[in-house]
Homo-oligomer: A and B are copies of this chain.
């Protein structure tokens, strides 16, 4: 995430009045602007971000942003939508690929959600922005709920019910809050957002241990049988 324009961009700008540059990327401009906007908004927050900095990072000038977007708010909204879409798509695609046993599916699903929420810097920072600006952009929260969190939770619940039916999973009341299965990933997300550079975390291992915790719990059992992440990896 470079603060200054990359060499490539600088080069294009230096080339001055060369119109070829303008038209060459016409179609790519909006995406480039949103990309730049993401970096800036993440770094400074919505209100403290200067659209001129966004423009500079995208290798254009202030005015160009207004060619493609109504105003600062719309840049922000469009950026969140643009960067969220691939995630939503992936989530849907994942839903297609069925899985055999419940435990197996849950593991895969949680792994996927870890990647989205905590491992991927993009997803992580989008989350930060949603939390920070929830009051200013309620419609983004609504969309996020509708397109991501809602379906995910529904899927988790479904999966838990299936598991319970098959006898793989105990019929606990977790069905009331399936999002609890997300909490390790969310928690890691927050940790990364707050302490990332302070506390380097082995995310692989965090995941393994979280799965172990979720599946087996803390309490001593008569005979341990399920995943023992410490030994396996």
Interface residues of A (CB under 8 A from B): 42-48, 103, 106, 128, 130-136, 141-142, 144-145, 149, 160, 163, 167-170, 172-174, 176-177, 179-180, 182-184, 186-188, 190-191, 193-195, 198, 205-206, 208-210, 212-226, 228-230
Contacts and interface: CB of A to CB of B under 8 A. Distances in A.
Given A180-B209, A187-B179, A224 B170 contact: yes
**Copy count, this protein chain:** 4
Contacts of A169: 218-220
A42 to B, nearest CB: 8
29 contacts: A42-B135, A44-B47, A44-B135, A45-B45, A47-B48, A106-B218, A128-B132, A130-B194, A131-B132, A131-B190, A144-B194, A160-B218, A169-B218, A169-B220, A170-B219, A170-B221, A172-B212, A172-B228, A173-B209, A173-B230, A174-B218, A180-B187, A183-B183, A183-B187, A186-B187, A213-B217, A214-B217, A217-B218, A221-B221
Contact of A209 (B44, B177, B217, B218): B177
A72 to B, nearest CB: 12
A204 B61 CA distance: 53
A51 to B, nearest CB: 14
Nearest to A173: B230
Contact of A172 (B149, B183, B195, B230): B230
Contact of A131 (B46, B163, B193, B212): B193
A173 B212 contact: yes
Contacts of A136: 44-45, 48
